[in-house]
Amino acid sequence: MQLIIAEKSTAAETIAENLGESKIKTKEVGPVKIWFTKISGEDSVIVPLKGHITDVRYPESFKKWDEKSLKDMVYSNLVYVPSALENVEVIKTYAKNADKAIIATDYDTEGEAIGFEAIDIIKNAKKDVKFYRSVFSSLTAKELGEAFKNLQKPDNNLADSANARREIDLILGAVLTRFISLSAKRLGNSFLSVGRVQTPTLTIIVDREAERRAFKPKKFWRFLVTLSAGKSVFGAEYSEGRVFEKKTAEALEKLKDEKTAELAQVKKRIKRVLPPTPFNTTDFLRSASSAGFSVPNAMRIIQSLYMKGYVSYPRTDSQAYPPTLDIGEILNELGKSSAYRKHVDKIISSGQLHPTKGKEAKDHPPIHPVKLPNKPLSSQENKIFDLISRRFLATLSEPSEEELVSLVVKIKNYDFSSRGTKIISPGWREVYIYSKYEENILPELTEGMPLKIQKFETLEDETTPPPHHSQGGILKIMEDMHLGTKATRPEMLKKLMERRYISSSRTLIPSEIAFAVTENLKKISPELTGAGLTAHIEDEMKKVELGEKSKKEVVDETREIVDKMLSDLMKKKSEIKELMHEALLKQYIFGKCPKSGGDLRMIISKKTHKRFVGCGDYPKCHFGMPLPQSGYMFISPQICPKCGIHMIEWKSKDKPRTYVFCVNPACKVEKKAVAETKKPAKRNQSEA
Q: Please list the residue range(s) of the chain that carry CATH number 3.40.50.140.
A: 2-49+84-154
* CB 164, CB 544: distance < 8 Å: yes
In which band, very low, low, confident or very high, does the pLDDT at 672 lie, cut at 50, 70 and 90?
low
Instruction: Give the single-character DSSP code of 266.
Output: E
In which band, very low, low, confident or very high, does the pLDDT at 686 lie, cut at 50, 70 and 90?
very low
* CB 686, CB 164: distance < 8 Å: no
Q: Tell which residue, 455, 420, 460, has the closest CA to residue 261.
A: 455
pLDDT one-digit tens code per residue, 565-589 = 999 888 888 887 877 777 677 767 8
Spell out the residues 6+ positions from residue 86 whose beta carbon is closer than 8 angstroms to its own.
29, 30, 31, 32
Rounded CA separation 326/143 (Å): 11
Spell out the residues 6+ positions from residue 162 whose beta carbon is closer than 8 angstroms to its own.
109, 110, 112, 113
pTM, 2 dp: 0.80
Buried b vs exposed e over 337-374: b needs ≥16 C-beta within 10 Å? Answer: eeebeebbebbeeeeeeebbebeeeeebbbbbbbbebe
Among the options 306, 313, 414, 432, which is catalytic? 313
Rounded CA separation 461/217 (Å): 9
pLDDT one-digit tens code per residue, 367-421 = 999 999 999 999 999 999 999 999 999 999 999 999 999 999 999 999 999 999 9
What per-residue confidence (pLDDT) applies to 189?
A: 67
pLDDT at 284 over 50: yes
What's the average model confidence in pLDDT over 336-349?
95
Q: 313 catalytic, yes or no?
A: yes
**Which residues make beta-bridge pairs with 271?**
402
Q: Tell which residue, 509, 183, 571, 57, has the closest CA to residue 194.
A: 183
- Kindly report the CATH number that applies to the domain delimited by 2-49+84-154: 3.40.50.140
Q: Please list the residue range(s) of the chain that carry CATH number 2.70.20.10.
A: 219-274+400-462
What per-residue confidence (pLDDT) applies to 242?
A: 96
**Which residues make beta-bridge pairs with 449?**
none
What's the average model confidence in pLDDT over 178-192?
81
pLDDT at 520 over 90: no
Q: Please list the residue range(s) of the chain that carry CATH number 1.10.460.10.
A: 162-214+468-584
CATH class of 162-214+468-584: mainly alpha
Q: Give the chain's mean pLDDT.
A: 90
What per-residue confidence (pLDDT) applies to 643?
A: 87
What's the average model confidence in pLDDT over 471-484?
91
pLDDT at 688 over 60: no
Q: Does domain 219-274+400-462 have CATH number 2.70.20.10?
A: yes
CATH architecture of 281-395: Orthogonal Bundle (1.10)
pLDDT one-digit tens code per residue, 380-394 = 999 999 999 999 999
